[in-house]
Amino acid sequence: MSDLLTFYDFRVLIPIGIAASVAYLGIYIWKYLIVWPIKTFLSLRFVILFFKAIVNPFKIKQYPPPYKPNKKRNSNKKTKANGTNEVQGKIVKRSQVDQYIFNQSTLNATANSIFSPEFQYCEELTRDALFEKYPDHAKKRELCSICIENLHSKDLLLLLPCDHVYHRDCLHDFKRTLQTTNSNQVVMVRCPTCQLNLVRLYQYYIDHGLDFKEVKFDNKG
């Protein structure tokens, strides 16, 4: 018997077999327990980032954010405003809005919003509906002071919180004209009659968690 090892000798085959098993196990562990989870994690992350990048330019953020009633702030208790005044009960006075210190960038974003959120706090209704709901307006024989025309029964109107009423389209045209003539400025729509700043009023309600349907606005207070 020669001591020379041949390949088929079990003293060679066993260590080779063990080494092969260990190597295979190592590769297996590397492949499925380390590389695969990392790859999956990264690819998922990139898939998400990829879709975000695709979707974002087309996504128009809903502005203004949907109204959420805030029971704590919108109660009858005194609500602390960031400015100099407090909202008490359900009445917002014009002077409170005038004195309130706004976050300028938020206010500008509201003013520049293509959704014209400031008009959301104006009631949209026909003249017939206006006269029925607010009989005081029926007595006044008002004109739309933008187009200086009578209000006709089926005309769509906007009733502003200051109680001034205009044709809806006239008010939107009024805003558009303001924007085109002051294209490099932030345009804040004001009531053409009493100069109430509708953007500031809207932002005031949002900042204080107030629902315009529940709050009475006092234009003279």
> Quick one: which of 122, 125, 159, 191 contacts Zn ion (CB under 5 A)?
191
| Per rule CB under 5 A, count of chain residues that contact Zn ion | 11
Judged by beta carbon, residue 112 or residue 150, the one nearer Zn ion is: 150
Judged by beta carbon, residue 73 or residue 142, the one nearer Zn ion is: 142
Judged by beta carbon, residue 159 or residue 191, the one nearer Zn ion is: 191
> Quick one: which of 41, 147, 150, 156 contacts Zn ion (CB under 5 A)?
147
Give CA–CA dist 156/152, Å, rounded: 9
Give CA–CA dist 54/39, Å, rounded: 22
Interface with Zn ion includes 167 (CB under 5 A)? Answer: yes
Judged by beta carbon, residue 81 or residue 122, the one nearer Zn ion is: 122
Residue 168 near residue 157, CB atoms below 8 Å: yes
Judged by beta carbon, residue 126 or residue 193, the one nearer Zn ion is: 193
In the complex, what is the shortest distance from the CB of residue 98 to Zn ion, in angstroms, rounded to a whole number? 14
> Quick one: which of 94, 127, 164, 175 contacts Zn ion (CB under 5 A)?
164
Backbone angles phi, psi at 190, to 5 degrees: -115, 155
> Quick one: which of 16, 39, 194, 221 contacts Zn ion (CB under 5 A)?
194
Rg (CA), the chain: 34
Pick the piece of the chain touching Zn ion (CB under 5 A) from 13-21, 119-127, 138-146, 174-182: 138-146
In the complex, what is the shortest distance from the CB of residue 48 to Zn ion, in angstroms, rounded to a whole number? 49
For residue 159, what are its two tokens? Answer: 């009733």
Backbone angles phi, psi at 177, to 5 degrees: -65, -45
Pick the piece of the chain touching Zn ion (CB under 5 A) from 13-21, 124-132, 173-181, 195-203: 195-203
Interface with Zn ion includes 137 (CB under 5 A)? Answer: no
Q: What angle, 0 to 180 degrees and rounded to 10, lies between the N-to-C axes of helices 198-207 and 104-112?
A: 120
CA nearest neighbour of 189 among 140, 116, 138, 135:
116
Which residue type sits at 179?
A: Q
Interface with Zn ion includes 143 (CB under 5 A)? Answer: no
Interface with Zn ion includes 188 (CB under 5 A)? Answer: no
Residue 118 near residue 110, CB atoms below 8 Å: yes
Pairing of β 156-159 and β 149-150? unpaired
For residue 75, what are its two tokens? Answer: 């109660």
Residues that bind Zn ion (CB under 5 A): 144, 146-147, 162, 164, 167, 170, 191, 193-194, 196
